Every structure is written in C-alpha cells, then in structure tokens.
Structure 1
C-alpha cells in the first residue's frame, strides 16, 4: 500500500508542477494562462516549463515560472538526448505534469518526468497514440485552445479561471519599443504581419497594402510591416513598396522586442501566426485572417476573426493546399471589420508611454 498513488487533490499546497509545451509561439501563448492560474491557485508551488530554445524567452523571467527546462529541437529522436532530458526532469522531482499540447513531445516529456500525476487530454482530443502516457485524462468541452488547456486544471479543482498572460517584457525592450513608436509621426499605429508557417495561410501583399492605404485615409494610421523569416521580409517589402507611403518596414526584432512593439500599437492585422496571438497576449486589438485553420479553436482570443471559406482543419492539410481560402478574404471584408472595431470604440489612440 505504500506505493499507492495519493489522490491528486490531496497533494500539499506547494506541489512541484511541470507544464510541457515545447511548441511554437502560438502554442506557448495559448498555454501561458495555465501557468498564471496555477500560480494563483498554488502560490507556494514550484512551477517548471519544458520548452524549446527558440521560444523560451516567452517564459524565462515570467512571474509564474520558477524553472525553465530547455530541450533542443528533435530531442525525442535521439536516445542520448532522451536520456539527458529524462535525467533533468527526474532531478526536478515533479509531482504533477500538465500536457498542454497532447502530442508525442509533450506526452513523452511528462512520462519521462516520473510524476505520479500526469494530466492530459483523453484520446480523440490528443494524439491517440500518446494519450495513454498520461494517467489523469480530461475530456474538454470548449473549442478554443486557451479554454481547452485551462480545462486541464479541473482535476486540481481549479474552475472558472481568469485568463491572462503576464508576458515578461523587460524594461529595455519596453524602452526600445517606445523609442521606435515615437519615431512614427502618427496618432495611430497598425502592425501588419504577412508571415505564416505555410503558403495556405498567407494573405496577399497587395491586399495588405490596400488595407494600409484605407487605414491611413480613413483613420489617420501609419502602419508597420513586421517579419521574422527571409521570406516574410520579402513580402513585407512588397507591402511597403505598394502602400503609397503609408507603411514602413519594421526593424529586425527579438521575440520580446516584438511583443513590446505590439503593445504600443492600436491594431494588428495578421494571418494565423505567432504575432497574432502575441498581440492578443499584450492587449492589442487584433484582426485574424483565417483560411484553412479554424478561428473557433485557434483564433485571436476574444478578438476579431475573418474566414470566408470552410476547409479541413487538419494540420497536414494546411501545408498541402494553395491559399485559395485566404484569397476569399477581400480587402473590403477587412476594412469592414476595421470600421466595426472603431464604431464599437474597441480601438483607441496609441498606448505608448
């Protein structure tokens, strides 16, 4: 009987909890409210986060996180890296793991940790082949990923949590963003993000340019075209060239510099990509442009989503089709959404310090 697993709600008020979410920017942003709610519920807990180095800045220095365990991309394919990861996880002696992503990487990390209580989604709501690695399985009822991941806290008797992100934006990043914003001689600033992780989720450059001209003519905006990859930059440059002087190319930024810059803006327009969700996390009004992915589960949380065509939402499908669904979104649809946001007073003047 000494080896019996105690009920999860009988643990101490200072449990050691691991959040497994080593995905991209969107994945981490969708999971950050879980960490905030855990900190509220367990002020004395030790909270760790397993994450990839390219997005670790989103949790490093976060008020809710005590320990950041960085794992290299593809670690689960290397026997030696699996052993190293297992050793690091076991040293932290986690009592509980939260499998936010429900895929091989997160489920395996939770299993390797040796935690007695491993919370994840039931089969059908996670990759079926790996759902068994968790022993406290939740059947979600909500659609949006933010709400669904917060449902993983129900075994801990955490209900109706308040959603917030508390991004750890440093003072230097804030100062840089405010200086960048002060150089834009306009009362209103819009961020345009043409980047996406596959062609089927990209909106055309000339449509971004036309939208920027509308923003300038109707509401007096100046726009910044942001980018991360070389391909994104080429598209951002096309937007600038066709904008008739209403768009400026954004400088190269780190992840947290971008978050700070978004915080100074009045509006962000983007496809389903990391910058869209980052903007939501810092409180910037956003319009998400959706083609093959579904705004019902991965749209900008409590913000505006536009989708004109219904396509399969399979992740593999996104990468194998053209952007027909995105081309169904016209400039007029985005301009109408902009008008509605202004009419409802959801957009004010710049919040730059």
Structure 2
C-alpha cells in the first residue's frame, strides 16, 4: 500500500522531545467519559518516560469526572473548548480564557489525542497561543506548523488505545501495555445492602438515541437474569430516571442518579456480568475487570472501541450504513436487531467463567 501521509508530517530536523527533562505535560482529550478512560495507557506510558513531570488532562465537563479515576493523572483542566461546540458567537474568542490558563501553567508539551474523525489542529493552535513549545498530534490533513511533531494518522479502523499509543511511540514514548485501569477510592459507595453479594448491572442509557438498544428488550434481560437468582441493578443518570425505572420493572433495582463515577466503578467491579450499550459504562466495566455484554450500534466501528482488558461479548449486526455517527437512526436500528435471548445467552456464558 502506498504511503499517503502528507510529506510535511514528521519533517526532518524535528527529533523526539526530551521527555525525561520535562516538568509539566498536558494531554488533550476533551471528549466523553469513555474516551477519557481509554487514555489510561497513555498516562501510564508517559509516567515511565517522563518520571519527573506533572501529567495533566485537558477534559470536557463531561469527561473530567473520569480523570480522577486514572492513577497517573496529576491534575485536570476542565474546559468547553471551541472545537467541541456547535454554536459559537461570531467575532468572539471562545478559547481566550483557556489560552491564558494554559500559559500560566507553563506546560513543556501538549499531546493532542483524537479519534480518526477529529482534527488536532484547533487544539494545537490553542497550545501554540499558550506558548507550549512541544505540540504533538496525529493528522491526515495539512495544518502548517501548529504541531511541532505531526505524526501521520494510522488506518481509521485501528483501536483507539492503539492509535494513541502509536502517536506516543512515534515521538519516543514506548507503550507500557494496552490494559485499561482505574483507581477506585476507598470511600466509593457500593450499595451492597441493596443489591446483595451476587448481582448483575444493566445500563440501558447512552449518549444519543441511535446507540440505545430498546428499553423493552433490556427489561426482558432484567427479568431473565433475575430468574437466574441474581439481583439486577439498573443504573443510569438522573436524566435517565424514566428509562431506568421502565427497564427495572418489578424485579430490578433502579439506581438513577445518586452514584458518582467512582461509586459506579465500585458497583461494576463486583458484578457477575454487566449489560450495556456502547457507552462510557462499558469502558468503565472493562477497566475494573467486570465481564460485559455490549450492545454496539453502527454509529462507530466495533474494532475501534472493543473492550480488551476484561472478558466481553460485543453484539451487533453488520449493516451497509455503518459507521454512520448519527445521533438519531433514520432507519429502524437494524444494527441493533438483537434479541433478548441472545443477550441473556452471552451473559450466561460470561458468568459461567466468572463464578
């Protein structure tokens, strides 16, 4: 296959940064909880390469909650960045405050992490304006000198963790493994008095309607797992309360809101099996080692996000319109045409190994 990377990428004269000498490094990933959890291997690799450096994460308000669970993260800069907003005021400088904040912190390097469909150039420009001397990122398209270390993008299908570790490897930071990990605080609440010692967790929510397996099918799974003798906890956010209670029905234990992300991690860690849509909950289950059945909509490519740290079964249907990245499916969610019996069977297979 011919090399289609831009000739300006990784241009001569720009050697690997001196990571061991750095005092402060910023990792940029202003996305959702699952995206932040997948940066764990990045921070682990950086900690080994730059042992004296403070490692900070630039996170979105939604993703910042996950940062406290990552063992190697020292600090968090929370911002609603311009390149993640749809409605910007004409003539304004929405990133001005962020630029000032980053400049005051005095970072030696910024590592811009992106999915295959995202551009690193807006973040690189913010870092340049903030005076960050080393700016690293992946890109297919031309962006001039905004990145000091511009690494050609790998194939779109590559797993997100591999994509991020490949970026680091290209600038002299070797991988320290692909496994996800989180640090669950000792004071995280696990409501064992409510759920008992043997339980499953069902998480029917997702960030958009196109990723949600139908509630009535989740409810059928809850009834089947309860029939197996498990307490079935149905978890979700406060905004998902109606969905959580509908799925729980008369046999499940609804937990909508009231649990922080650390509490949820503690809850998932003790579950015999977790059943969830493609969402942050899957990556959290992956990180704590809980067996997980994932209902994967065709909004993305499975191999980019597949759980790899824990035992998992990913259920989906191949469709010609995937990956669509639609918020609402314009068809009939053929990619999620999966029966409750299939999900229950997958959950039982995973439990047979777990118990």
What is the DSSP-based 3-state SS (H/G/I as helix, E as strand, rest coil) of the residue aligned with 1:332? helix
The separation in 1 between residues aligned to 2:33 and 2:276, in whole angstroms, is 14
Partner residue in 2 for 1:156: 171
Deviation at 1:326, TM superposition (A): 4.7
Alignment of 1:177-256 (within 5 A): 177=190, 180-185=191-196, 187-218=197-228, 220-230=229-239, 232-241=240-249, 244-245=250-251, 247-252=252-257, 253-256=259-262
Partner residue in 1 for 2:40: 32
**Cα shift readout 1:195-243 (whole Å, capped 9, x = no counterpart):** 112222111122112212222334x22111111152x2211111122xx
Aligned CA distance change for structure 1 residues 5 and 110 (closer, same or farther; 3 Å): farther
The separation in 2 between residues aligned to 1:87 and 1:238, in whole angstroms, is 47
The separation in 2 between residues aligned to 1:65 and 1:167, in whole angstroms, is 11
Contact kept? 2:41, 2:178, Cα under 8 Å: yes
Partner residue in 1 for 2:154: 140
Partner residue in 2 for 1:351: none
**Cα shift readout 1:20-78 (whole Å, capped 9, x = no counterpart):** 01111111112222112211222211212111233323224754223321213658746
**Cα shift readout 1:143-174 (whole Å, capped 9, x = no counterpart):** 2111211111113323342134443432222x
Unaligned runs of 5+ in 2: 1-11
CA RMSD of aligned residues (A): 2.8
Deviation at 1:140, TM superposition (A): 2.4
TM-score under structure 2 normalisation? 0.82
Q: Which deviates more, 256-265 or 189-198? A: 256-265
The reply on whether 1:42 has 2:45 as its aligned counterpart is no
What is the DSSP-based 3-state SS (H/G/I as helix, E as strand, rest coil) of the residue aligned with 1:146? helix
Aligned CA distance change for structure 1 residues 212 and 131 (closer, same or farther; 3 Å): farther
Partner residue in 1 for 2:133: 116
**Which structure features the higher share of helix residues?**
1
Deviation at 1:194, TM superposition (A): 0.8
What is the DSSP-based 3-state SS (H/G/I as helix, E as strand, rest coil) of the residue aligned with 2:290? coil
Unaligned runs of 5+ in 1: 349-353
Alignment of 1:1-353 (within 5 A): 7-60=15-68, 62-72=70-80, 74=82, 77=88, 79-101=92-114, 102-103=118-119, 106-123=123-140, 128=141, 133-136=146-149, 137-140=151-154, 143-173=158-188, 176-177=189-190, 180-185=191-196, 187-218=197-228, 220-230=229-239, 232-241=240-249, 244-245=250-251, 247-252=252-257, 253-292=259-298, 293-302=300-309, 303-310=312-319, 311-315=321-325, 317-343=326-352, 345=353, 347-348=354-355
How many correspondences in the alignment?
328
Contact kept? 1:96, 1:117, Cα under 8 Å: yes
The separation in 2 between residues aligned to 1:107 and 1:40, in whole angstroms, is 24
Deviation at 1:99, TM superposition (A): 1.0
Contact kept? 1:121, 1:152, Cα under 8 Å: yes
